[in-house]
């Protein structure tokens, strides 16, 4: 499947799930201790089958920033679907949500993910030491982002 077909399929299944910022938080039991923020989820499909999930979360319209997360099924890795899905979400963040910054955190020792994000336009900003407990040990995470001013839309 071409990149563009995957993109169209992905765009066709954009689903907006929502809390409503502070008003959502007010309805939650205090014990949960988290804000319900706005999430925009995307489920890329190939031949009608969902091959993964991705989202924009922490959507903050005042500071015009959000965070991106993604997971593509292993059998579909390395075929460009990750790129296509990430770029689709970033494009949506800038063009439709009027965001200024899309950020993410990724395990520093995950060259596949870090490389895929770099290729999609994300820049490394810093390292959070021992930020994640993974497979029985603490691992560092990288903070990466793409800014509106450096984003090159697809032609």
The count of chain residues that interact with ligand COA, using the rule CB under 6 A, is: 19
Shortest reach from residue 20's CB to ligand COA, in Å: 26
Which residues make Cβ contacts (< 8 Å) with residue 8, sequence separation at least 6? none
**Closest CB to ligand COA among residues 72, 89:** 72
> Can you tell me which of 5, 18, 71, 128 binds ligand COA, judged by CB under 6 A?
71
Q: What is the DSSP string of 26-73?
A: HTS-GGG------EEEE--EETTEE-EEEEEEEEETTTTEEEEEEEE-
Of the candidate spans 17-25, 38-46, 105-113, 143-151, the one that interacts with ligand COA by CB under 6 A turns out to be 105-113
Output helix, strand, coil percentages for the chain, rounded to the nearest 5: 30, 35, 30
CA distance 46 to 29: 39
**Closest CB to ligand COA among residues 60, 110:** 110
Report if residue 112 touches ligand COA, rule: CB under 6 A. Answer: yes
Give yes or no for a contact between 13 and 42, defined as CB atoms under 8 angstroms apart.
yes
Shortest reach from residue 71's CB to ligand COA, in Å: 4
Of the candidate spans 15-23, 93-101, 113-121, 143-151, the one that interacts with ligand COA by CB under 6 A turns out to be 113-121
Task: Give contact residues for ligand COA (rule: CB under 6 A).
Answer: 70-72, 77-83, 104, 106, 110-113, 115-116, 119
């Amino acid at each position: 499947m071409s990149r563009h077909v995957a993109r169209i399929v992905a765009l066709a299944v954009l689903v907006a799930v929502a809390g409503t910022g502070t008003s959502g938080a007010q309805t939650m039991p205090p014990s949960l201790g988290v804000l319900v923020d706005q999430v925009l989820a995307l489920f890329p499909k190939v031949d009608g089958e969902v091959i993964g999930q991705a989202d924009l979360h922490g959507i903050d319209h005042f500071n015009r920033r959000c965070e991106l997360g993604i997971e593509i099924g292993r059998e579909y890795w390395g075929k460009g679907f990750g790129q296509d899905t990430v770029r689709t979400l970033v494009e949506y963040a800038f063009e439709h949500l009027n965001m200024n910054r899309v950020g993410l955190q990724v395990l520093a020792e995950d060259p596949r993910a870090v490389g895929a994000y770099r290729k999609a336009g994300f820049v490394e900003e810093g390292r959070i030491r021992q930020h994640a407990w993974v497979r029985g040990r603490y691992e560092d995470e990288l903070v990466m982002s793409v800014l509106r001013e450096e984003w090159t839309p697809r032609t």
